[in-house]
Amino acid sequence: MGRILVTEQIAERGLQALRDAGHEVDLRLDLTPAGLLEAVAGAHALIVRSATQVTAEVLEAGRDLVVVGRAGLGVDNIDVEAATRRGVVVANAPGTNSLSTAEHAMALLLSQARNIPQADAALKAGRWEKSRWEGTELHGKTLGVLGLGRIGTLVAQRANAFGMRLVAWDPWVSRERARQLGIEMLELEELFEQADFVTIHLLKTKESVNLIGEDLLARAKPGLRIVNAARGGIIDEAALAKAIADGRIGGAALDVFAEEPTTESPLFALDSVVVTPHLGASTTEAQDKAGVVVAEQVVLALAGGFVPFAVNVAASEAAEAVQPFLPLAERLGSIFGGLIDALPSTVEIEYHGQLADHDTRILTLSVLKGLFGGMTAEPVSYVNAPQLAEQRGVEVRETKTSTVQDYVNVIVIRGGDHSIGGTLAGVRGEARIVMLDDHSTEVPPAEHMLVIRNDDTPGRIAVVAGALGDAGINIADIHVGKSPQGEGALMVLAVDQDVPQEVVERMLRSPGIHSVHPITT
């Protein structure tokens, strides 16, 4: 039996489950960073929520750790890579707050539509303002849902019961899947032009920060009302406040903000804005479920069993010949995800060469883990990756062939109009991208890459190099590949930083450059 260090309050049912399994529960709240380093020594498990920072230093001090459990969804406060290197399982409790967050989004929607907080405050202050706080019905109105993950889908289902017309924007959900849910998929601008209400359920990424800004708000249907119970920073709060003050936007209901905690915002002075202090997951039931689920994961890990909600996996679970290809498969999936504009209905994963003689299922899971890693707010694991594919209407096919031409082993991903292939080359097994969109190439995968389609004419490389050089962006690797038909060329570059949009646009203005696709993984 082991000692389990718990540094933040979780449900008593969860703590009791740990004790019932025979473990010692060491509950130490409000530890300082130095105190954590001292307390974690000798612990076999560590359970945290969002406040405790589980750094590489903490993991080093916890030499006996088998598992770190997060009583909640996000694991941003845990150094998962350091944990994996040390063989420590990191497990979370996904889905435990989905229902609570969806219900809070509906509460915000209703509160905004009927001005409930404003009327409540006025009446308690001694003012009977019946005519001032006239609201609007939800029935017959159009609700635009940004993000059709678990929470977005739950909100859509509940809004449907109110008789609302449902439209959605999510590049990573197929139209067929949306049709099954009774939802019409639209482009983002179309959605804002048609919706009476918009509810946000997106992952906060580089692309989604300030997604809803001055330009999009200017295109919105007059009187649009916006609900955000997802992540702060997706809305440009200053632009929203101005649009509401000008009368172009009808109002907003917000649970999250760009900076938290916060008690100051231009939105707070507006009568048509409803706000709450990030209460989406703050229900007794959600916290109880999170505590119980994480306790179950920790008990399983300490018993040496399979941990369903582990966000990392030991390479030892794969065959020895397959283990070196796990990082490559995940990286290929991630680059493929950056290459596509929308999820295809079918993703084909091909294994060529000696790999075809082995069980490659964990490699397929690695591909899916990389593919969906940048598309969802929840951590993607080897366990939930197939579920995410199913939820988004993506069929995954795996094929094998021992036939291979130029390399001993190749992994190929195909879907829609795109494809990517990679291998491990040389005695050191270095990762290489050897095919992209059926163009032969050979370049190491990198965090920042550019894929450029251009005419096979002199001077195109100079155009690209000049634009990057003027922007102070270094080219680490570059390879030019011809298509099998020879009608055009493709450049694949590894660069040392993200490529700004203005640099992309400069390249596109040059003759012979047909497309420029920056990818960050």
- Give catalytic residue positions: 231, 260, 278
Q: Which of 42, 11, 9, 8 is nearest to 24 (CA)?
A: 42
Sign of CA dihedral 92, 95, 97, 98: positive
**For the chain, how many residues are written?**
521
Residue type at 375 in one-letter notation? M
| Cα–Cα distance measured from residue 244 to residue 223, given in angstroms and rounded to the nearest whole number | 9
Structure tokens at 274: 């409803």
Burial 327-343 (b: 16+ CB within 10 A, else e): bbbbbbbbbbbbbbeeb
| Cα–Cα distance measured from residue 237 to residue 228, given in angstroms and rounded to the nearest whole number | 11
Residues 6 or more apart in contact with residue 200 via CB below 8 angstroms: 146, 147, 212, 226, 227, 228, 229, 230, 234, 235
Q: Which of 308, 485, 443, 278 is nearest to 383 (CA)?
A: 308
| Cα–Cα distance measured from residue 282 to residue 298, given in angstroms and rounded to the nearest whole number | 23
- Phi and psi, residue 462, nearest 5°: -65, -35
Whole-angstrom CA distances from 110 to 103, 138, 220, 246, 304 are 11, 8, 20, 23, 47
- Preceding amide of 344 cis, omega within 30: no
Burial 492-515 (b: 16+ CB within 10 A, else e): bbbbeeebeeebbebbeebeebee
251: left (phi over 0), alpha (psi -120 to 50) or beta: left
C-alpha angle 494-329-396 in degrees, rounded to nearest 5: 120
Residues 6 or more apart in contact with residue 1 via CB below 8 angstroms: 21, 22, 23, 24
Q: What is the largest CA-CA distance in the chain?
A: 82
| Cα–Cα distance measured from residue 59 to residue 79, given in angstroms and rounded to the nearest whole number | 9
Q: Which of 332, 362, 312, 318 is nearest to 79 (CA)?
A: 312
Q: Which of 73, 519, 152 is nearest to 337 (CA)?
A: 519
User: What residues pair up with 24 in beta bridges, in sequence order?
Assistant: 3
